[in-house]
Amino acid sequence: MISKNKIAAVVLSSAMALTSALPAFASSTYEVNKVSQIEASGSISGLRVIVTVPANTLKANTPEKIRFTLPTDLTMPTGTNFATIGGTFSTPMIGANLKNQFTNVSAVALGGTGTSGNNYVEFTVYKANDPASPAALGEGRLVIDFPALKASGLNTGDVKLKAEAASDSAFSNASITIATVGSGSVAVSVDDIKNISSSNSQPVDSIYFKEDRSAALKTDPTSIKLKLPAGFSWANKAAVSVNSIWGTSGIATVDTTAGDERELIIKGNSLSSQAAYFRLDGATINVDESVAKKGDVIVNVSGATTTTPSSFTIARYGEFNTNVSVYGDVPTIPAGKNFDTISEIGSFKIEEEIAGSLIDDRTITLTLPEGARWNTPNSASPYAGFTKNGETKEGRVNGISWTIVDKDDAGRILKGTFDILQNNSTTAAKYILEKAQVSTAVDFSGDLAVEVGGTAGMTGKLVLAKVAPSATVSVSEVKPVTLGLGAQAIGDITITEGIKEAFNKDNTLLSTTVEGSTTEDNVINVQLPLGVFFDGTPTVEVTSGDMLIETSSITVNQNGSDGSQGSLRFRVKSSSTTPSAIKISNVKITSDRTVPEGDIVVKVRGSAVNKSAFSGRGTAASAVVAKLVTPAPSEVKPDATFKIGDTKYNVNGVEKSMDVAPYIKDGRTFLPVRFVAEALGVTSDNIIFDGATGTVTLIKGSTVAQFTIGSKELKINGATIQMDVAAEISSDRTMLPLRYIAQALGASVAFDEATQTVTVK
């Protein structure tokens, strides 16, 4: 669609071109009011030429002549009297107390019979008498208004009017540009894009047609064709009228019978002599809703006339319906934040398909998922968290008032009530809302999917943010630990931010208690289970990213009023600009007798990771860092499994690896002595190999077992037991049949033929 201004502006332009050498006093100037744009066979109308000579140029009682000759193929109306063919001229006053130097002007016009065969008009002027003082005789000025000039096959380019005078005349010879010949076009436009529905005979705005020069609209049965897209048709062609705005009128009509129902044909009846501007009024459109596509209704423009543009939007089709959708990019925000810029969600759009779809006092509700809220519990209404985007088109929407309506004060349900103006606006509303901030529980992650409801008819879900976990925690190795023993080493613990600034140094806490936080600010709290404590202070360091921690704040504590729970705390000194990782190494723990056998889980909590106040949801991340494998502080009961051909084995639920796999040879199951001994509780310093003699010694408690590579003798506490096979070396490891390893170390064994699994206890 082309926008247009219906107010025409007339610009005064001037053209002057001098030819051969002239006497010094021949210094007249020529101005034209416009340079017309015309077709080769168009018309020039409203041409005015102003001729001016300086003061004191003319001689008294001496006539001066100036002739204006038209180019070939451009003619004036037939006649010898300039006035009778529609021309006029005048000699206006020059200014206050200045009389025009020209007087007694006469004109002769000749239509096509001049010496060159071209039309011309010749003017004769005399010098006026000097006026009485204080008036004076000023410059000479002749204003000439030409009649309509008709072209018939002019060449492309500038059209020149030739000014000629005698060599000793006060008038100069000149070639004056009065028009430019080219291929004209008609601009097609509408002022307003109407919203239409599938009801019959939907009115559209007037369609405007503006020639850029005379004769641009061609005389042709299909001068201009307006074709609607599939599913749309012109409802009543006979009701469409052509109305002139300016220029030549009556040059076009609507052909009510030509074309199919999708086509509206404008027939060119005659060429304009003045560039025409006209409009079509009363057009209506029918819609076949089974075919028509919702959205812009685009008219294709074609025909014998050159038009711009080749298509334009005449209407917007839709039903009385309102849609809500995500607008723009969906941000990623960290969990556990509380109504600040880092927790700003994405924008969404409420849009009418056609104007009038939204009804006054109807509502829209936006419900956040569990673990998220629009505002703090029991906060004051109304809610003012949204900002209206600058691309919003209000239409008839005066505003939306928002309130939080949860009955349980959870702050999850937001209701907006529409205030609709009772006017006739045809602009479909497009309301874009942005910059709302939410609070999420620190353990929330994934899509922040807002459920849409309310009485305005909008439904669905909007994903307005991706919530990244504030933290993840991992351990380098899950080690077994023994109940009741102190200073037991476990693997390195790594805490990683889910997003930059997730570990916030801001010390602002809510007035309500933030679970997992303390009265201290910006604290990360690494918390052990009840009955488990840190033994000594681990090493804490940032291993990636640019977050800084206060090393002086690293402390080991016992949580709870009775000191029944261990924790490691430290403060964030500076928030990150890239996600950072914190490594906790040299970790040793102690457990008391109350801790049940099984997983030891560490939790990441504290005010640095959790700024929200969701009851029971204070842990940002957790991970198993060790396994308590003994039910009492006495001897560890071993439970190990090995699989034939597999280098992985399991000890008390913990998977481990070895560098040689068990195998079956001559009906015997061979296992690596070192790994079986370690699984049964023999420490590495009690597994001794004498390379000189090939002797292996195992010491477990009061038992000493010995055997030699290549020998069938097994000695237990000095007593010799004969074996039916000898110990051997495989892949640099000492291998012995399972039965004799168990006998040497006092263990029981079982072999599962189906799974090829050996169990040692």
pLDDT tens digit sequence for 217-252: 999 999 999 999 999 999 999 999 999 999 999 999
Residue 612 C-alpha from the chain's centroid: 30
- Residue 636: per-residue pLDDT: 52
Partners of residue 657 on adjacent β-strands: 648
- Residue 376: per-residue pLDDT: 59
Residue the block writes with tokens 């000191």: 563
| Whether 578 and 659 share a structural domain | no
Q: Is the peptide bond before 134 cis (omega within 30 degrees of 0)?
A: yes
Q: What is the mean pLDDT of the chain?
A: 85
| Domain encompassing residue 689 | 640-760
Confidence of residue 117 (pLDDT cuts 50, 70, 90): low
Q: What is the mean pLDDT of residues 406-414?
A: 79
Residue 753 contacts by C-beta under 8 Å, 6 or more apart in sequence? none
Cβ–Cβ under 8 Å, residues 596 and 532: no
pLDDT of 594 > 80? The answer is no
| Whether 495 and 566 share a structural domain | yes
Q: Does residue 4 form part of some domain?
A: no
- Residue 395: per-residue pLDDT: 83
- Residue 289's domain is classified under what CATH number? 2.60.40
Looking at the chain, the whole-number percentage of residues with pLDDT higher than 70 is: 90
- Residue 672's domain is classified under what CATH number? 3.30.457.10
Distances (CA, A) of 155 to 38, 74, 87, 161: 11, 11, 25, 14
| Whether 149 and 233 share a structural domain | no
Q: Does residue 16 form part of some domain?
A: no
Q: Does residue 693 form part of some domain?
A: yes
Q: Which of 146, 165, 181 is the last residue of a domain?
A: 181
| Whether 139 and 198 share a structural domain | no
| Whether 145 and 37 share a structural domain | yes
Confidence of residue 4 (pLDDT cuts 50, 70, 90): very low
Q: Does residue 500 form part of some domain?
A: yes
| Whether 420 and 502 share a structural domain | no
Is the sign of the CA dihedral 323, 329, 335, 340 positive or negative?
Answer: negative
Cβ–Cβ under 8 Å, residues 117 and 123: no
- The alpha carbons of the chain give a radius of gyration, in whole angstroms, of 50
Higher pLDDT, 26 or 189: 189
- Residue 634: per-residue pLDDT: 46
H or E segment and range at residue 321: none
Q: What is the mean pLDDT of residues 293-320?
A: 92
Q: Does residue 635 form part of some domain?
A: no
Cβ–Cβ under 8 Å, residues 466 and 446: yes
Q: Return the closest-CA partner of residue 529 out of 620, 591, 616, 606.
A: 591
pLDDT in tens, 139-166: 999 999 999 999 988 999 999 999 999 9
Q: What is the mean pLDDT of residues 667-683?
A: 87
What type of residue is 81? N
| Whether 278 and 350 share a structural domain | no
| Whether 299 and 195 share a structural domain | yes
pLDDT in tens, 535-584: 899 999 999 999 999 999 999 987 654 567 889 999 999 988 999 999 99
In the chain, the largest separation of any two C-alpha atoms, in whole Å, equals 161
| Whether 595 and 692 share a structural domain | no
3-state SS, residue 608 = coil
| Whether 497 and 559 share a structural domain | yes
- Residue 111: per-residue pLDDT: 57
Q: Which of 151, 181, 211 is the last residue of a domain?
A: 181
Q: Return the closest-CA partner of residue 450 out of 379, 385, 378, 499.
A: 385
Taking the C-alpha atoms of residue 176 and residue 165, their distance in angstroms, rounded to an integer, is 14
Q: Which of 274, 290, 317 is the last residue of a domain?
A: 317
3-state SS, residue 685 = helix
Cβ–Cβ under 8 Å, residues 38 and 179: yes
Q: Does residue 5 form part of some domain?
A: no
pLDDT in tens, 49-69: 999 999 888 988 899 999 999
Q: Does residue 195 form part of some domain?
A: yes
Higher pLDDT, 592 or 599: 599
Q: Does residue 416 form part of some domain?
A: yes
- What is the number of structural domains in the chain? 5
Looking at the chain, the whole-number percentage of residues with pLDDT higher than 90 is: 47
| Whether 252 and 370 share a structural domain | no
| Whether 138 and 34 share a structural domain | yes
- Residue 10: per-residue pLDDT: 29
